[in-house]
Amino acid sequence: MKNRAVTAADIGMAVREKRKEDGLTLADAAALSGVGYRFMSDLENGKETMQVGKILKVLTALGLNMIIEARKWPNE
């Protein structure tokens, strides 16, 4: 799975897709990640004001990587 994340909703969609692919319930994924059910739900629903540290915990627990790279601008 390779997704481009531009918004919080994009991250949430990738997390939901991976969770379902792994056959996990929302509660299972939250427990596995060490976050609360509400946090997991808010993340999957694209809430804009999520804690980055907790998001990284979820991504790690689900086996997802976040890669940051410089964007190629049209005039380069």
List pLDDT tens digits, range 14-28: 999 999 999 999 999
Tokens linked to 2: 């390779």
Fill in the amino acid letter for 60. T
Q: Is there a domain that residue 41 lies in?
A: yes
Question: Is 2 inside any structural domain?
Answer: no
Domain that holds residue 38: 8-61
Main-chain dihedrals φ then ψ at residue 5, nearest 5 degrees: -105, 115
Is 72 a domain residue? no
CATH code (residue 16):
1.10.260.40
User: Residue 3 domain-assigned?
Assistant: no
The per-residue pLDDT for 43 is 98
User: Structural domain tally of the chain?
Assistant: 1
Is the pTM for the entire model greater than 0.85? yes
As a whole number of angstroms, the distance between CA 12 and CA 6 comes to 11
Identify whether 76 is part of a domain: no
